[in-house]
Structure 1
Amino acid sequence: MKRSRFTEKQIIGILKEHQVGLSATDLCRKHGISDATFYNWRSKYGGMDVSDAKKLKALEAENAKLKKLLAESVMDVSTLKEILGKKLLPPGSTRSAVYWAIDDKGYSQRRACSLVGLDRKTCRYASRRPADEAIRPRLRELASERRRFGYRRLHILLRREGIKVNHKKL
Structure 2
Amino acid sequence: MLFRCPAFIRGNNGPELTAAALAEWAELHGVILDFIQPGKPMQNGCIERFNKTLRTEILDMYLFRILSEVRVLTEDWRAEYNEERRHSSLGDMPPVIYARQKLAGDPHWRWY
| TM-score (norm. length: structure 2) | 0.30
**Structure with greater helix percent:** 1
**Structure with greater strand percent:** 2
| TM-score (norm. length: structure 1) | 0.21
- The structure with higher relative contact order (CA 8 Å, sep 6+) is 2
